Amino acid sequence: MFTKSRIPLFALAPVSLAVCSSLAFAADNKATAEENPMEVMLVTADFRGLSVEKIPSSVTVIDAQKIEDEGARHFEDILGSVANFNWSGGTSRPRYFQIRGVGEQEDYKGAPNSSVGYLIDDIDLSGLGMVSSMYDLQQVEVLRGPQGTRYGANALAGLIYLKSNDPTEQFEHGARLSLGNDNLKTFAGFSSGPMMESGELLYRVAIEQHRQDGFRDNLYLDRSDTNKRDELSFRTKVRWYANDHTQVDFTLMHADFDNGYDAWTLDNNGFDTLTDMPGTDAQRTTGVGLKLLYDGFDKAELTSLTSFAGTDHHHGYDGDWANPEYWAARQCTDDYDVNGNGDYADLLPCEYDYTWDKRGDRSTVSQEFRLASNEAGKIWGGSTAWLVGLYGMQLKEDNDLASFYNGWPDETLRSSYEATNLAIFGQLDSDLGQEINLSVGLRLERRDADYSDDAGDAFDPSETMWGGHIAIGKQLNEQHNLYGRIARGYKAGGFNMSLPAEFADKKEFDTEVLYNYEIGLKSSFLEGNFDTNLALFFMDRQDQQVSASQQDPAKPQRFVLFTENAGSSTNYGAELDLNWYATDNLHFYGSLGYLKAEYGDYSYQDKYGGLVDLSGRELAHAPNWTWSLGTTWRADSGFFVNLNANGKSKFYYSDSNDSVSKDYGVLNARAGFEGDIWSVYVWGRNLLDEEYGVRGFYFGNEPDNGWADKQYIRFGDPRAFGLTLDVRFL
């Protein structure tokens, strides 16, 4: 059945082909696992499926055990444990990410062009990362630095890869119920096992429904749910062993996040809002993936990846952050001479009512074929494994944007965007002898885009880009593996729509290129019970793409949003991950990131016509320090305790102003009793009720103060606590 449908499924991709790698190192990893008391974690997003200790790159893998121990329900709950990683909180859930200071902070217009790749089970959701339930996940992988060979234009800064659990040959089932403050209710369940007695067909199904009020009280509407979270996640996987040489994996995922968005306050109190028309932040995504593995060739193995994702997203907000009664009680100048006396300095009750709303529909189709050598197919005397591949993707997105100011339409835009990417890539992995390994990869990519809108803007840029890497590793001894890596990444150029005439010179911007230079040492001590992964890096960004915004002095409810090229910037720093199994019952872990990311030569014109020089200033959302620490104690009797904390140093909120966050740290805990079938836990997040900013703006939003610029902050979640019951049948 699957064989017959293979060709039409491939035909879903209007462009495509790709060829890739084998699991040539699986035997080595298995041997390592038998010798090492610590579990070996494979990087599934990598061509070769190497272990974290073997891959010549800075990678963090968060496995299912750590996700469970910390009680993480959403990606937001665990991203603080990744060194040199940040996100911008302009949405109800993290959607825009920054790795080593590189990445988007928002996307208001609708021509997606991500710097950080985001995949769930090989389904590309870059720029749509909010649908990220952690339930029934095998692991989360964060690959830092450009992934030019493997993922191309959408992974300039790095890649986030979520891998869910695969179907099992034995039946297993489970359920989970969580209750907590903020009216939190979560129910989840999974089932896995064989569909046939022969074991040729396996299945796995997982579902989760999460609801909570969102930690905001709307005093004007007398409601506590205007910032709600209503999140449904569903996934089914089927594995078919078609014959001795063919494995087919089918994945269907669906996520329906219908969240509120009421997170901003004029007085920065953080949690008591006054809006009369609370916003929304909704995303409905359906994704389908088909993976075929064939190893029946004498000297090569074939991998085919076909995926489709369709997303409806809706983001809107009350831009005046208050209500008619609030503004009418304040005095504003008579800017429009309502009194008719020619005196614009007269004071009148303020009238300020602004709403912004965008609805979008995105579809992505991709196809990749990889052909990789097996052990018999290695070249140059059996020293070198090879792979070649072809890739194609088509992305389409339609958007409807509408805003209203004091009851009148203010800005409307209906747009259509389409981008097609075609790529060819290859990689050689050579054993040079004396425990030295060399990896060389290259990718050539063609991108054609087309954009049009009802305001008369139309663009059709096309370009050819290239990226790749050279990495060399040296096994110093059984405990230490040293590597060096040079990688070239790229991000396609683009265009700015709906710009006023005075910004005519900013209609288009160029491709950004990033060179990453990295050395690392991966070590194991105490007979394999204590592991450290250290990386030092220097990144040279050329024609850096910078997102800028300017408030319109004539229409202060409006912003001019555009991207332009800065001359250059440099990012350098270090990452350290560590794991220590002190005893069979006690585990310590942690991470530390240092980052210095600053502009080389860049200045821009502010809304008053003045020139602002950012040369030498640090980039936005690039804290100097990120850290995490954790410990898990699991007694033989079944009692369990986990304590973990993470934090960041201060960082700039924007590239268009000097608004800065504060240093912060967050403490979390989980404790309970674990039995063979059932387990019960009490948990708390942000136990010290730390007030910390996740997004900030600096602009004028109060007409009674003459639209004077002011810093506004959106805060992260306050203290949360609850009870979780887990049941599992094997």
511-557 pLDDT, tens digit per residue, is: 999 999 999 999 999 999 999 999 999 999 999 998 877 777 777 77
Displacement of CA 498 from its chain's centroid (Å):
28
Encode pLDDT of 377-417 as tens digits: 999 999 999 999 999 999 999 999 999 999 999 999 999 99
Token pair recorded at residue 596: 């210095």
Q: How far is CA 677 from CA 229, 255, 404, 640, 670, in A?
A: 30, 29, 55, 15, 19
**Confidence (pLDDT) at 26:** 34
**Does residue 323 form part of some domain?**
yes
Contact 73, 93 (CB under 8 A): no
In 3D space, the residue among 635, 668, 675 whose CA is nearest the CA of residue 72 turns out to be 668
| Of the candidates 209, 352, 212, 330, the residue with the CA atom closest to the CA atom of residue 276 | 352
> 629 φ, ψ to 5°?
-140, 145
Query: From the DSSP assignment, how many helices (H) and strands (E) are in the chain?
Result: 4, 42
Q: What residue ranges of the chain have pLDDT lower than 50? A: 1-37
Report the alpha-carbon angle 260-265-269, nearest 5.
115
Cβ atoms of residues 47 and 427 within 8 Å: yes
Neighbours of 533 (CB within 10 A): 23
1 lies in a domain?
no
Residue 722 within any structural domain of the chain: yes
Classify 527 as helix, strand or coil. helix
Among candidate residues 581, 613, 620, 615, the one with its CA nearest the CA of residue 599? 615
| Backbone phi and psi for residue 20, each to the nearest 5 degrees, phi listed first | -150, -145
3-state secondary structure of 707: coil
Tokens of 141: 């992988």
pLDDT at residue 613, as a whole number: 85
C-alpha 672, offset from chain centre: 31
Has residue 139 been placed in a domain? Answer: yes
Nearby residues of 353 by Cβ (< 8 Å), 6 or more positions away: 320, 324, 327, 404, 405, 406, 407
Alpha-carbon gap, residue 91 to 89, rounded angstroms: 5
Query: Domain tally for the chain?
Result: 1
Any idea what the CATH number is for the domain that residue 97 is in? 2.40.170.20
The angle formed by the CA atoms of residues 287, 291 and 292, to the nearest 5 degrees, is 155
Which domain range does residue 252 map to? 6-729
Residue 393 CA to its chain's centroid (Å): 19
Per-residue b or e along 560-575, where b marks 16 or more CB atoms closer than 10 Å to that residue's CB: bbbbbbbeebebbbbb
pLDDT of residue 336: 65
Q: Is residue 649 part of a domain?
A: yes
For residue 147, give every residue at least 6 positions away whose Cβ sits within 8 Å of its Cβ, in sequence order, or none: 117, 155, 158, 159, 487, 489
| 172: in domain | yes
Give me the amino acid identity at 150. Answer: R
- Phi, psi angle pair for 208, to nearest 5°: -145, 135
